């Protein structure tokens, strides 16, 4: 195959999105629409990717900062042909050019490869037989079934509007021929725009073959023009991901109620209940069970661990044979070893917890190192922030922390120590000893509880 140059058209404002955000930056499966198209382009290993931007061009560029992309700008929206003209100077004469659309996120590399295979010495168009072709450009064929033109809906005759084969806007051709055709485009049409589709007639005029590869997946060629389109594409993406997980052996309580906004790696015998959201890169080990309505982002969960419902795990590592939740929150920097129990309404942040430790109720453990076989009672808080800086708490092996305890960091609780319930600990607690910090208990005789005043 010749060297490949890919042009992605992403200049449209998307007025039907009713948003100040460029259309291609709205998200499907947690990523901008354009991200999906760029990923498809990269999978084809092109020599160049040229993205044509217009409305909100700076924000689009900033979103993909660091990518190996050439940016071209279409300052005025004068049609698809005019958009490709903005990329013309970057195209190499000896290359094949593939035109992709920045608002078609489900386009597949496989479909593109089939199209490119037909485009070495001719113009190849990706078409589709659509039941209701209203609004789409029609593929015009001659008596020999060869493609002779693409007619836009507004310019089509009544007979042409009955044609079901439509143009998807995705096409491929030799770059040198494309440059020649771009110079011959005219805006003599109902829209007064320069249509890229007019290059078909120019190719026929030059006696260069025109062929159409008919796509077999309508969603893979469907563009997004409204929030309704966006929602429909999102559901299609998620349904297909769910089907892939099922084929991999994952048990899904309801394939229609799972959202993967990144990559989900799963081992054998994983079970996922309804309403779960997976973001970024998530890995689930063998026999992991995820309860209903959990949100898990950029996390690793090892074998035989149960994440109970309504838990939130972000940028954390959860070891084997753990039990987390319900209603637990593991924040970035948290790492749990094996056999750890994290219970309801427990929050951990930048906390490393060693094996067989339990933090079962209503506690906040932040910026902490917690040893083996530690029991932390309900209502315990590590007071890690002094208003300006964070400080660390160290809890050594076999410590018992009584309920409603405040540990004022920086502080160390020695091995085997016991902290009495209701204590505020601001100094190191010695190993193996009971440490208690409480005010003297006082009973005030004769005190009366306030009563509610009657409203006049």
- On whether both 249 and 175 belong to a single domain, the answer is no
Token pair for residue 304? 């035989």
Evaluate whether residue 449 is within a structural domain: no
**Average pLDDT, 10 consecutive residues per value, the chain (456 residues):** 91 92 96 98 97 95 96 94 96 96 97 94 96 93 90 91 96 97 90 90 94 95 96 98 98 98 98 98 98 98 98 98 98 98 98 98 98 98 94 97 97 97 96 92 82 78
Evaluate whether residue 108 is within a structural domain: yes
Evaluate whether residue 232 is within a structural domain: no
Handedness of CA 9, 11, 15, 18 (dihedral sign): positive
Which residues have a catalytic role annotated?
361
Evaluate whether residue 333 is within a structural domain: yes
Q: What is the CATH number of the domain that holds 179?
A: 3.90.550.10
Q: Judge contact between 173 and 95, C-beta under 8 A.
A: no
Evaluate whether residue 228 is within a structural domain: no
Q: What is the pLDDT of residue 425?
A: 96
* Contacts for 109 with CB less than 8 Å, ≥ 6 apart: 40, 43, 44
- Find, among 122, 123, 186, 124, the residue nearest to 155 by Cα: 186
Domain of residue 153, residue span = 4-221
Q: What is the CATH number of the domain that holds 283?
A: 2.160.10.10
How many folded domains does the chain comprise? Answer: 2
CA-to-CA distance for 403 and 446, rounded, in angstroms? 30
């Amino acid at each position: 195959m010749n060297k490949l140059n890919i042009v992605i058209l992403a200049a449209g404002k998307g007025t039907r999105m009713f948003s100040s955000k460029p259309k291609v930056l709205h998200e499907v499966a947690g990523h901008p629409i354009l991200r999906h198209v760029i990923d498809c382009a990269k999978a084809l290993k092109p020599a160049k990717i040229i993205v044509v931007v217009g409305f909100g061009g700076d924000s689009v560029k900033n979103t993909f900062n660091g990518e190996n992309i050439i940016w071209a700008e279409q300052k005025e929206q004068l049609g698809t042909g005019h958009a490709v003209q903005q990329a013309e100077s970057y195209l190499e004469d000896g290359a094949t050019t593939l035109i992709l659309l920045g608002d078609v996120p489900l386009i597949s590399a496989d479909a593109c490869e089939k199209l490119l295979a037909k485009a070495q010495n001719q113009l190849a168009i990706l078409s589709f037989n659509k039941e209701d072709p209203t609004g789409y450009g029609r593929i015009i064929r001659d008596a020999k079934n060869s493609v002779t033109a693409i007619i836009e809906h507004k310019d089509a005759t009544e007979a042409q509007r009955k044609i079901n084969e439509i143009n998807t806007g995705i096409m491929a051709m030799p770059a040198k021929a494309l440059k020649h055709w771009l110079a011959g485009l005219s805006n003599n049409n109902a829209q007064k725009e320069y249509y890229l589709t007019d290059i078909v007639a120019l190719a026929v005029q030059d006696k260069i073959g025109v062929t159409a590869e008919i796509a077999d997946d309508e969603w893979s060629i469907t563009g997004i023009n409204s929030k309704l389109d966006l929602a429909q594409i999102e559901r299609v993406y998620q349904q297909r991901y769910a089907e892939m997980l099922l084929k991999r052996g994952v048990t899904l309580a309801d394939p229609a109620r799972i959202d993967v906004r990144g990559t989900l790696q799963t081992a054998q015998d994983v079970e996922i209940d309804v309403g779960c959201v997976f973001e970024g890169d998530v890995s689930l080990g063998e026999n992991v069970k995820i309860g209903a309505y959990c949100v898990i982002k950029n996390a690793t969960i090892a074998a035989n661990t149960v994440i109970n419902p309504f838990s939130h795990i972000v940028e954390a590592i959860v070891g084997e044979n753990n039990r987390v939740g319900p209603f637990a929150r593991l924040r970035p920097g948290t790492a749990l070893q094996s056999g750890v129990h994290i219970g309801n309404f427990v929050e951990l942040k930048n906390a490393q917890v060693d094996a067989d430790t339990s933090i079962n109720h209503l506690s906040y453990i932040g910026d902490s190192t917690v040893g083996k076989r530690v029991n932390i009672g309900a209502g315990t808080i590590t007071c890690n922030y002094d208003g300006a800086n964070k400080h660390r708490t160290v809890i050594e092996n076999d410590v018992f922390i009584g309920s409603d305890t405040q540990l004022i960091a920086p502080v160390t609780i020695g091995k085997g120590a016991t902290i009495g319930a209701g204590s505020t600990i601001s100094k190191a607690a010695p190993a193996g000893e009971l440490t208690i910090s409480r005010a003297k208990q006082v009973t005030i005789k004769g005190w009366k509880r306030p009563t509610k005043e009657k409203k006049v």
